[in-house]
Structure 1
Amino acid sequence: MGGGSIEREIKEKFKYAGVMHLLAVSGFHLSILSMFLSFIFPPILVVVILFLYLNLILFPVSAVRAFIMISVYLIGKSFYRDVDTINSLLFGAMIILFINPLSIISPSFLLTFLATFSIISVMSNVRSKLMQLLLVSPASIFGVFPVSISYFPIFSLIFFVSNIVISPIFNFFLPLTFVITLLSLIDKNLIFLIKPLADLFMKVVDFFSKTPISYIGIKKPHPLFIVSYLLLFLIVVLRKNWNIKIRFEKTIFVFLIVVMVLSFMYPYYAEKNTLKVVFFDVGEGDSIFIKLPSGITMLIDGGGTLNDRKVSPGERVLNSLKRMGVNRLDMMIFTHEDADHIEGLFHVIDKEFVKSIYGPCVPLGEIGKRLIAIGRKKGARFFPLKRGDILNLDKNTKLYVLNPIEGGKDYGRAYDNNNSLFLVLRHKDFSLVLSADVEREGLNEICDVFPEFITNVSVYKVSHHGSRFSFFKEFFNLMSPRISVISVGPNRFGHPSQLIIDSLMDVGSKVYRTDLDGAIELKVYKGKTIIKKYNFLYILDRLRNLSKYSINFNGFNF
């Protein structure tokens, strides 16, 4: 119910088309149900049936808000009383907060009440049905914009057009399918009429979801942005609907606009002249994002399917990129063709603009060739990398390729791993070693051939998720990394090996693990390295919990 059991691919299409709200059980859905029930039952019984329906769908906040407003309207109607929509909306908020005060920080609570309040406020003086149709989407976005970009990484640029087209179709499609479903109880053959209607509707959604530049990623704004925006919103509503005048209104208005603009831009300005490296938490896999002070962006690997999470690694990487405001990748690098490294890149390249793709200069299999082919269709060029290549990224940054040799090499075992890309990024005095899945045979050779590139390392991305097969004591002693990061998740291989962890700690390295610490972010600015840990999975789970009721109220799970 409300999108919880809908296939991920369908939810993705609705999200990128800017109509994800149509999958949530909310005011419109309950209004259709209540109108149908009102033809058969008295108002009080309709309220009871709606409450039982809410219990069935586990009381989502948006549906509870709609239920309270509809109930107030129906009860008022039975007593021949007019109902003020703003008062019923505030009454609903009070009841929800009484049941669960933590709902005040729930995105579901904020979005449903701000959107409804904004629509009511904007539409209060609009009489034209056409204008109501045109204004309902921008009115809702006007209210929820600051909350939306604070909680969610993607903002639709075509919501206005897509909602004008899709919403009326959905308004016709939903009650029609409801009627067909009921009629199918008499003649079961009628149920097959739903499929062609659903297919037609999904083609429209799919068209908008694939529209170029239909969405962008926005950095999470400073809290002052939300405060200043909502204050501006409140001033506009008070002025328009109740003609309430505020002293020094123009001065306050200009001040709030300035604060809003500056606080929105602050997260972008704060990373100026900073080298940023993020090791994403993608379970048992690798995915590293790098942004240089010059603005060049690169994604190295994208994780894969070896995880037990509801959100795929590729989707997690894309959402994280959008949350950081990344809407373009100058470089996409796959170190080798193992699924836990390359598979997530397909999800990213499908939604993100990629300028160039890089991979190992070895004979590639089907999956590597397919990624390159998709990239070329989207305008990305492919560049194979081999030992000895040097990429001059900007005046202070170089990327050195230490492995593989051109055409690959047979080390007697672990061919794919030992022929994966081994990269060293150097930015002024900072050095980052990215060893992909290279194992001890490859590490031994790199130590012999390029000792000068792996001495006194700043940060080491531990090879092969800390596998015992990547243990090479001389390699660790030579590097003596100040920081080591193990990208790992639940697995059956025993990663990471305690021997690896102990050996790194013996050379004075501080060890971080994505399975314990979440995503690891490094910022290098003026010779200083700042480390932050982000357990995105915990945050997402927490937000999901806050978007539902957690109090048992008279036997019902609120």
Structure 2
Amino acid sequence: MISVANEMLYVLFGVCGLFFYLDNHHPLILLFLVLYILYLLRNRFKTLIILIIVGSIYLINYKLQLERLLKYDKDKIITCTVVSFPQEKEKYTQFYCKSRNFKYLVYDKSITNNMPLGTVIQLENNLQLVKNNTIPYQFNYRKYLLSQKIQYVNYVEDVKITRMNKRIDFKLINTLHSYYQDTPNKGYLLSFILGDKNALDNDFNEATQFLNISHLFVVSGFQVAFLYLVCHIMMKYLHITKETSKLISQIIIILFLIINCFSVSIFRAVMLIILIELKNKKHLPIDNIHILSIIWLINLFVNPFVMYNSGFVLSYLITLILFLSRIILMHKRSYIISIYRVNIICQLFALPITANFDFHFNVLSVLLTPLLSLYYIFVIFPFTLICLLFKPLSKLLYYGFSIFDQIILKLATITYFDLNVGVFTETRYIIYYVCLFFIFRMLENKKKPILLIILLTINISFYHKLILVDEVIFFDVGQGDSTFINAETYNCRALIDTGGARNYKPGNTTIKYLSSIQIAKLDYLF
């Protein structure tokens, strides 16, 4: 059993490759899978057998769950339970709702935003299948919803509240949510403790995304590790035995997982802590990397579409990279240098994923993120825990949060270091990560990968500018089609109809598309 567990990292690579091939059937991904299978056949035959078994089960599970999600409730009136806090938009309220067998995204035009978690409602059946994005390289909302096992949205004019679900976790979350509504730091409290993504205002969220530090303001494995450490210190101060201390600390982080509705990043951190503690207690010869791989595979079997969730991929990828790169991460003489190394490695491996949100990378974040992270670690998050336990202290500690807000908003106004990197396509992904892999291999062997660093820099900065293709692109802009003519041979770019609709800023869609292919200037606009 132990020998099988120590093969899980290699199995994980194969299953992830299978997922990406199922997603878009790209020939380069198929080539990777073939080469990977040949490598395993030659060097790790036992791993190949395990991969074939696990991969076959995953493929069957993927097909069966996808087929099941295409079914839906056929009753004229749907009874379901609200499982997310309603998010108020300009003309509707948006929330997730779960019936007995299915989960839906609901758009309520009656603006009913006073529904706590666990509210059982009845609404008219106006289900519509979520459509794919029609604009190249833009955020694919259908895939994001699929990562949460949602295939249908429901547009309703009215919602009828019938009763409250009596589940304990709903009651606990609602109690915490309402208790901290009147505190000056409620945005941090609700964001860090309950994972409420809408608790912080839009300007602040945009500023953190621009600075590439948005990961600090979502519930993640850091909060779990910090909470576990604080519990250990408190138990030690109270002279509680080591075993009892671990047990109590694990119960606390499991409760933290429950109030965050089993968030994928929290689940990863909690399971990793529990399994590593179990490994150490039983003296099992299993590397932490393989434990992480097992947890990753468990997630994939529970939800075969979870890889469409960028947060999930980033959470596991960064943890995996930190485990694999620990040889070159730590600097014996300087803690600050170690932090900067961790930051640079994390940003490099996360870049292709985060860049596909807005197609930009702020070079300044390489210098700023470690400093902001230190302030977050030693001031913001401890203050949040203090405010959580001692609500009256919220006003006294408000200035610590306010200073952080002002610093971030000011830094976000510095746009000089903002680099348009464009979209990372499948081919670009492969080139980028292959370069990065060999760079770190050479660094571990004390070699200087100068040529590879130059190639990686070109990939980041000039990839789309080096693709000399003449093309005409048509895409939906809300009020008809926009036409982009890109004649690289003649160094000429023209756009016909910028587009725009009532609920979108004119030209917003076209600007995002042009940014995705690193176009900053048009020669003709019609």
Deviation at 1:96, TM superposition (A): 1.8
Matches within 5 A, 1:161-172: 161-172=367-378
TM normalised by structure 1 equals 0.48
Deviation at 1:271, TM superposition (A): 6.1
| Cα distance in structure 2, aligned partners of 1:4 and 1:313 | 27
Structure 1 equivalent of residue 420 of structure 2: 217
1:170–1:115 CA distance, 2 compared to 1 (3 A): same
Matches within 5 A, 1:289-368: 293=487, 294-295=491-492, 303=500, 306-307=502-503, 319-326=512-519, 328-329=520-521
Q: Is the 8 A contact 2:435 2:452 kept in 1?
A: no
The one of 231, 239, 248 equivalent to 2:434 is 231
| Cα distance in structure 1, aligned partners of 2:196 and 2:496 | 31
1:58–1:324 CA distance, 2 compared to 1 (3 A): farther
| Cα distance in structure 2, aligned partners of 1:313 and 1:195 | 39
> Does 1:14 find its partner at 2:208?
yes
1:122–1:153 CA distance, 2 compared to 1 (3 A): same
Structure 2 equivalent of residue 199 of structure 1: 402
1:265–1:201 CA distance, 2 compared to 1 (3 A): closer
SS of 2:405 mapped into structure 1: helix
Structure 1 equivalent of residue 227 of structure 2: 33
Deviation at 1:27, TM superposition (A): 2.0
Q: After alignment, is 231-240 or 205-214 more displaced?
A: 231-240
SS of 2:300 mapped into structure 1: helix
| Cα distance in structure 2, aligned partners of 1:191 and 1:155 | 35
| Cα distance in structure 1, aligned partners of 2:251 and 2:340 | 34
Deviations 1:345-374 (A, max 9, x none): xxxxxxxxxxxxxxxxxxxxxxxxxxxxxx
Structure 2 equivalent of residue 280 of structure 1: 477
SS of 1:216 mapped into structure 2: strand
SS of 1:42 mapped into structure 2: helix
| Cα distance in structure 2, aligned partners of 1:211 and 1:119 | 30
SS of 1:193 mapped into structure 2: coil
Structure 2 equivalent of residue 140 of structure 1: 346
The one of 42, 63, 84 equivalent to 2:266 is 63
Structure 1 equivalent of residue 290 of structure 2: 87
| Cα distance in structure 2, aligned partners of 1:209 and 1:176 | 24
TM normalised by structure 2 equals 0.51
Matches within 5 A, 1:487-526: none
1:244–1:211 CA distance, 2 compared to 1 (3 A): closer
Q: After alignment, is 78-87 or 59-68 more displaced?
A: 78-87
| Cα distance in structure 2, aligned partners of 1:233 and 1:75 | 33
Deviation at 1:98, TM superposition (A): 2.6
Deviation at 1:208, TM superposition (A): 2.0
Deviation at 1:136, TM superposition (A): 1.5
Corresponding pairs, count: 316
Structure 2 equivalent of residue 107 of structure 1: 310
Matches within 5 A, 1:254-269: 267-269=464-466
SS of 1:124 mapped into structure 2: helix
| Cα distance in structure 1, aligned partners of 2:201 and 2:509 | 17
Deviation at 1:81, TM superposition (A): 7.3
| Cα distance in structure 1, aligned partners of 2:286 and 2:384 | 28
| Cα distance in structure 2, aligned partners of 1:300 and 1:194 | 51
Q: What amino acid is the match of 2:245? A: P
Q: After alignment, is 122-131 or 261-270 more displaced?
A: 261-270
| Cα distance in structure 2, aligned partners of 1:287 and 1:156 | 32
1:259–1:21 CA distance, 2 compared to 1 (3 A): closer
Max Rg structure: 1
Deviations 1:38-68 (A, max 9, x none): 3346323332332332232233332222222
Q: Is the 8 A contact 2:420 2:461 kept in 1?
A: no
Q: Is the 8 A contact 1:3 1:23 kept in 2?
A: no
Structure 2 equivalent of residue 160 of structure 1: 366
Q: What amino acid is the match of 2:271? A: I
SS of 2:231 mapped into structure 1: helix
Q: Is the 8 A contact 2:344 2:366 kept in 1?
A: yes
- Higher helix content, 1 or 2: 2
Gaps of 5+ in 1: 331-392, 400-424, 426-558
Q: What amino acid is the match of 2:365? A: F
Deviation at 1:292, TM superposition (A): 5.8
Q: Is the 8 A contact 1:219 1:325 kept in 2?
A: yes
1:36–1:277 CA distance, 2 compared to 1 (3 A): same
Q: Is the 8 A contact 1:288 1:299 kept in 2?
A: yes
Deviations 1:231-255 (A, max 9, x none): 34444555666x699xxxx9xx989
Deviations 1:180-205 (A, max 9, x none): 314525xx2x1112321111001111
The one of 197, 216, 225 equivalent to 1:4 is 197
Deviation at 1:144, TM superposition (A): 2.3
| Cα distance in structure 1, aligned partners of 2:405 and 2:507 | 23
Deviations 1:244-291 (A, max 9, x none): 99xxxx9xx98999799689966445564546565524xxx6996856
